Amino acid sequence: MIELKSLTKKYGSFTAVDSIDLSVPDGELFGFLGPNGAGKTTTLRMIAGILQPTSGSIHLAGVDLSADPLAAKARLGFIPDRPFIYEKLTGAEFLRFVAGLYGQDGDKVEHRGRELMALFDLEEWADELVESYSHGMRQKLIISSAFIHRPDVIVVDEPMVGLDPKAARILKDLFREYVRRGHTIMMSTHTLEVAEALCDRIAIIQHGKIRAVGTIQDLRAEATGGGGLEEIFLRLTGERAARDAMEVLDA
Amino acid sequence: MRSTPVPRAANAGETLKVNGWTHMTPVRGVSPGIVSDTSLNHLLSPKFISARARPLGKTENRAGRLILFFIVGGVFWTFVFGMLYRLLRYFRGIPEIGALLAGKLLAVMFVSLFGILILSNVVTALSSFFLAKDLDLLVAAPVDWLRLYGAKLLETTAHSSWMVVLIATPVLTAYGISYHGGFLYPLVAVASMLPFLFIPAALGSAVTLLLVNIFPARRTRDILSVIAVLAAAGVVLLFRLVRPERLARPEGFRSLVEFIALLRAPTSSWMPSEWAAQGIMGWLRQDPELLPFYMLWSTAAVAVVLGALLHRFLYARGFSKSQESGERWVRQGAVGRLVGRMLTPWGVMRRELVLKEMRLFFRDTTQWSQLILLAVLVVVYVFNIKFLPLRGEGITFFLQNVIPFVNLILAGFVLASIAARFIFPGISLEGRTLWLLRSSPLEMRQLLWSKFWVGTLPLLALALGLVFATDVLLQVSGFMMAVSIFTITMLTFAIAGLALGFGALFPKFNTENAAQIPTSFGGLVLMMASVALIGLVIVIEARPVYQYVGAHLLHSEPSIAGLWLGFGGAGLICLAVTFVPIRIAVKRMKELER
């Protein structure tokens, strides 16, 4: 379970995240949508304990992140949007290292590591250095690392970037199965079809504030006018669907 | 729809200027193209803007770090200037050979700086010409090869030379003031320094370009770093072979004439360092010569032109090769398994952190290859001690006990250089993966202490080995051996603490080349602070050592309280310098938002 209360992040006079209240219960896959620069990544990085909130609180699986950060982080898996990892470790060593950070090792971890790498077609690359991996392979390895210690909560920033269609499908199935088992996943994405097909509930954030939150049906009702998630998103965020292409190209 | 002015039709071969781009209209047999007339200034403008926006890196507490820099820098400059000024004034007092000695000293300093510049330029050129993140943009843009070369050469020169300029400034100032260089002297110094900086930059860039083209792409980076380190080791060995200590012992020469003849002979007549020293000394002796300046400027011009031609023909191929991916396979070492088993009692997290540090270090050629240079430095150092004239006229019991004390200063300096190479970059190298450590239940304290022990234990083994070996060669007393072992142990901990502290205070998270981290601004501040610490500890310990040696000579008992006070004080300072920087580093790492 993830609980955010009056969560705020300011950079000087700029408010990136403005008093957000959210509650994501166990067994829910929650989508976080918004235009570029709306505050999605900042919110997710605060939940992951990387950024310090200016005010407000974060509870992960019932543990207050600011009061007991280590206990809260022990229940979390984070998948960032940029796959930066140790270039000079092999894939298998990286998974072992991440499990070690959560105090886990032994046969069970080895078995999980092999299974996760096999799931994403990385078995053959397990003993090769990460520096020889492609962007998509690194992303798959990071996704695997978030599952290696079996966290209660997974926070994902743009999970589909760089993934091939097969890996994207596997990831969707993995996410659905994980929440079915009672865990919580919160993810940001720009791929609206993914959000529409996968998420139980969706929040739309703009200028650091939650603009709307609910199921697709709730959002449709709020946006008045029906349509798919793309139309709802554009109506709620007030973005123009497309500029006059001719005007732009002639400029 | 808004209408845009349509350029008039151009004739074949004619150029049209639109928004700063020169469009080439098609000529028969020549494909249409577009060549930018972007100026050098424009290509370098992102660097200028970035440098202006964050002079000390993106960080809070910039004022505090600036103050720290100015204090440490001021102390260092004053120290170098003061020492050299006193030495030069002493030289001025010696008739005949005083000026020759001053000239020789300058030439030797310039040779060392030239060696440093070549090495530093080879390493920096690899980053700026082949690894920098802006290259994808610049190489894909219609930027003329000559302008790209010019921009990257200037960038390489600036990155690799600023530290040499910082060191050379108090040195040249001391020369100018001691020899009354006059108000034109700064111009003369700049006229010799400018080509002196550009020659190694053009040469270093050309060497890098050739190496990137010659070696298999996957191994280029690794081979280049090994070659650069071997070259540096060669420079150190060559310097040793020159036997500079002979100059300090004129009595070792058969006659004064032979000594003066050696002083008059150029250190290396075909080296730009010799020309720069000649140019400056000629002016200071009031016997200005034009030839050294002509040699310097013409050689710089030739080096840049030849470098540009090489760049024109080899750069595209080299750049393409350097973009290929890195090494794939690694050996699973038995040492790693053994260390893993040994560390098991300390818990999974600590074991994995230490194993990760070891793997990253030994698999990164740019890191481990520096061990070669280190080994050469240690061998040269032990040899220097071995050949010290410790027996004979004027070498008293007192001197025999003072020399091991001075040995400690030098060993401390070697330690500081090693800490700057291996411990200081530790935090910077975590930069891109901090998201993982920060989102995991890992305490920053644990991370920093694991880095401390992984760096300190090998450093301590080396320090103890070095001091023990040199003390045995020096045949020191039991007391001095104990003092040396105690001091070097405490200094090792303190210098490692400083390296971690400064590593966290002045991180370089976005560097493309790990070899550049030690020569960054923070690395320089670390070296200055380490030298200050070594000096302070030695000064505090000097009094009890002096009292002990004095008491020994007079066959009396030394003051026990004095000994406790001196060594206790030094020990406490070292402990404070170990713990305080690590505490600051932990605090800073917790505050980091990456």
pLDDT single digits (tens) B154-182: 999 998 888 888 888 999 999 999 988 88
Q: Is the pLDDT of residue B96 over 80?
A: no
B410 lies within 8 A of chain A by CB:
no
Q: Do the Cβ atoms of B360 and A251 come within 8 Å? A: no
Q: What is the Cα gyration radius of chain A? A: 19
Length of chain A: 251
Residue A154, beta-bridge partner list: A77, A185
Distance between alpha carbon A195 and the CA centroid of its chain, in Å?
Answer: 11
Question: Would strands A63-64 and B21-24 be described as parallel, antiparallel, or unpaired?
Answer: unpaired
The two tokens of residue A20 are: 């957000």
pLDDT of residue B547: 83
Region at B74 (left for phi over 0; alpha for psi -120 to 50; beta for the rest): alpha
Listed by number, the residues of chain B in 22-81 with a beta carbon closer than 8 Å to a beta carbon of chain A are none
pTM for this entry: 0.74
Q: A95 to chain B: nearest residue by CA?
A: B352
CB atoms within 10 A of CB A69: 18
Q: B324 to chain A: nearest residue by CA?
A: A132
Provide the mean pLDDT of chain B: 79
pLDDT of residue B244: 56
The two tokens of residue B544 are: 């009890």
- The beta-carbon neighbor of A103 closest among B325, B348, B432 is B348
Q: Which pLDDT tens digit goes with each residue over B331-374?
A: 666 777 788 888 888 888 888 888 888 888 888 777 777 777 67
Question: Would strands A14-24 and A2-11 be described as parallel, antiparallel, or unpaired?
Answer: antiparallel
Distance between alpha carbon A162 and the CA centroid of its chain, in Å?
Answer: 14
A247 lies within 8 A of chain B by CB:
yes
The two tokens of residue B25 are: 């209209």
Block residue for tokens 């720009």: A190
pLDDT of residue B591: 84
A contact test, residue of B322, B324, B348 with most A CBs within 10 A: B348
Helix (H), strand (E) at residue A14: strand A14-24
The two tokens of residue A59 are: 């509870």
From residue B85, alpha-carbon distances to A26, B91, B185, B310, B373 in Å are 74, 10, 16, 43, 32
Residue B30, beta-bridge partner list: B27
Min Cα separation A43/chain B (Å): 13
Q: Which pLDDT tens digit goes with each residue over B273-307?
A: 889 999 999 999 888 889 999 999 999 999 999 99
Q: Which pLDDT tens digit goes with each residue over B99-146?
A: 888 888 888 788 878 877 887 888 788 888 888 878 888 888 778 888
Q: Is the pLDDT of residue B2 over 60?
A: no
User: Rounded to whole angstroms, how far apart are CA atoms B267 and B280?
Assistant: 15
What's the sign of the alpha-carbon dihedral B454, B457, B460, B464? negative
Q: Do the Cβ atoms of A105 and B330 come within 8 Å? A: no
Which ipTM value was assigned to this complex?
Answer: 0.83
User: Rounded to whole angstroms, how far apart are CA atoms A78 and A99?
Assistant: 13
pLDDT of residue A78: 93
Q: Name residue A161's amino acid.
A: V
Q: Do the Cβ atoms of B353 and A52 come within 8 Å? A: no
DSSP string, B357-414: HHHHHHH-HHHHTHHHHHHHHHHHHHHHHHTS--SSTT--HHHHHHHHHHHHHHHHHH
**Residues near A146 by beta carbon (within 8 Å), at least 6 away in sequence:** A77, A78, A79, A154, A156
User: Rounded to whole angstroms, how far apart are CA atoms A44 and B89?
Assistant: 65
Segment among A80-89, B186-195, B328-337 with least mean pLDDT = B328-337
Cα-flanking dihedrals φ and ψ of residue A8, to 5°?
A: -135, 140
Helix (H), strand (E) at residue A177: helix A165-180
Q: Please compute, for residue B5, the number of CA atoms within 13 A of its CA located in the half-sphere on the CB side.
A: 4
Cα-flanking dihedrals φ and ψ of residue A201, to 5°?
A: -135, 160
Q: What is the Cα gyration radius of chain B? A: 27
Residue B17, beta-bridge partner list: B22
Q: Which pLDDT tens digit goes with each residue over B488-540?
A: 999 999 999 999 999 999 888 877 667 678 878 888 889 889 988 998 998 89
A contact test, residue of B220, B440, B447 with most A CBs within 10 A: B440
Domains of chain A and CATH, by start: 1-75+153-161+182-251 (3.40.50.300)
Q: Is the pLDDT of residue B14 over 50?
A: no
Nearest to B263 by CA among B277, B283, B284: B277
Q: Which pLDDT tens digit goes with each residue over B438-479?
A: 899 988 998 999 999 988 998 899 889 888 888 888 888 888
The DSSP letter of residue B30 is B
- Confidence label for B564 from pLDDT (cuts 50, 70 and 90): confident
